[in-house]
Structure 1
Amino acid sequence: MTPDTPDTPHNGPLLEVTDLTKHFAVHKGLLQRVAGHVQAVDGVTLSVAPGETLGIVGESGCGKSTAGRMMTRLLTPTSGQVRLRGKDIAGIEDGELRRNVQMIFQDPYSSLNPRMTAGAIVMEPLIIHRIGTPDERKARTEDLFRRVGLREADMHKLPSEFSGGQRQRIGIARALALDPSVIVCDEPVSALDASIQAQVVNLLMDLQQELGIAYVFIAHDLSIVYHISHRVAVMYLGKLVELADRATLYSNPRHPYTKALLSSVPSPDPTVSRGERMLLAGDLPSPINPPSGCRFHTRCPVAISRCKSEVPAFKPCGDGHMVACHLVEGDD
């Protein structure tokens, strides 16, 4: 496997999300009355196969991290369902869920206990879940350090003694400790330098090839998502607007928002034209009071009157390609 051509898995769904919704109450006044709701995620449906990487992209505030936290049960959905191998995770015991679903967080420093050594941090899940003897836990921790490119001597250091990239490697090792089947990666490289980003992404891909882990990879950098993902979902203001395999989405985006995102990605070859740059007008609307109809219509350069009043269906438009746009014809 080369870093830019991940092998596409062909198995059935491992993690399924159906009509997932999360609204946060907004409290105001002395009595803290509910004055509205932040519609962070609104009706998201998608799935992840074993060994697959599903990329989720969108602007800051689009709801992608909230969706990821619901997939790990760090947040409880307002409505909808998350199923692991067909079983609703709301009914799965904590121990079983954590052994199957783990998370890598955005900030590699704040996600690590500054008072614990790196070895203790990685070993902690094994202790909590009573896996192995003390000697077996130590051997497992040493093996995890080697797998993520750290030395055994690093086990005795505190998080403050590591660089940002090394801290994220510790976070990856901790996520791998229980041998999970799926890991939600919440912008795991956005806080790192560009050269370190590539190292961490390549490490994740190597671990996936070796261990068969599925990833939900949340990011705003489309070039990184292209590098690691098999399929890509695009979110805008809490809703999915497009979903397709990586090659199709990047070569033939159908939704105007996806086209705008891709047109903003710098080309590595300045002699190759990406076509006309599509610039979006205005800022992302408030999720407390989202626009009626298509939520993107206030910034869309090709919006029609129908877009202002009617919510577009998330419909198939050929070969697994899904899009929510009135201007795109769906499959008959």
Structure 2
Amino acid sequence: MNYLSFVFMGLLYFPKMLKGKKIDVIIVFAPSPITQVIPAILLKWLKRAHLAVWVQDLWPESLSATGFVQKNWMLKLVGYMVRGIYKCCDTLLLQSHAFFEPTKKYAPAEKMVYFPNSMDATGSSIVDQTIPAALRAELESNFSVVFAGNVGTAQSVESIVEAASILKNEPGLKIFIVGSGSMLSWVAEQKAIHHLDNLVLPGRFSMSAMPEIFQRSAALLVALKDEEIFSYTVPSKIQAYLAAGRPIIGALRGEGARVISEAGAGLVCAPESGQALAETILTMKKCSSTDREKMGSSGINYFNENYDMDLQSDRLIDILTARLNRR
């Protein structure tokens, strides 16, 4: 109902909001669901504008991988819908190189352009006293591994809990899951059942608090399920982790793992394996502080070369200008 209400309200109100205004380009930032593009298609026709969709998620593959849709006939219907939506788009901005091959099933290659996620690193400076004193003290007094963001089915939180169980007797090491999501209550139950005092669930914080949490962490953790669809994507938190200048532990395959390794910004292990994750966390802990600082510095350098907001904004202008001129 939430997805459908956005489509309905968009079709009803967006044309009124833009009445009398000349529009050159319409850009849709498109994580799930892809249906959010539908109101933009109407605007494209009304305004005779160029429609660019920044594809963050592969449909219908992501529906199947997360288990929300499992019946083949439904997935085929979603596939037809995706093909129709992409047909109405002029440019598909793909956040990962690996997105090209699966997207070719639904759209011609000439519509596709690689355009990764970016972030404004100027907002990454530390503002002290933005997190509770108790949390600050706990982060600083331990080798703190922080997972931040959505705590959902795609994030393989089961392997994080398993790793915490394996490491529960490791002195001075704690894993923090900062955020919220559909799996958070399950994680809390497992923490209580297995008496995982080394697993900390501080809750959700504003974006302004994240730089302080990151900087007081020993390492930052990103994890995904071991599904082919997730090997195509680069989770946006990787850019945030790189910009933070802290070493990264990646329990994932594919593009996300490639970025971490190529940047020299951390260690990578197999996804959905609590044992592999626990061993990698211990390996990171045994690294010298100098080695971990080098990983963090390499991450910042890689971010500045590939994901800086100013750099990416200029490139987006170039891409859209070239496409408008070609039209």
Give 1 or 2: higher strand fraction. Answer: 1
TM-score, reference length from structure 2:
0.26
Q: Structure 1 length normalisation: TM-score?
A: 0.25
- Structure with greater contact order relative to length (CA < 8 Å, sep ≥ 6): 1
Higher helix fraction (1 or 2): 2
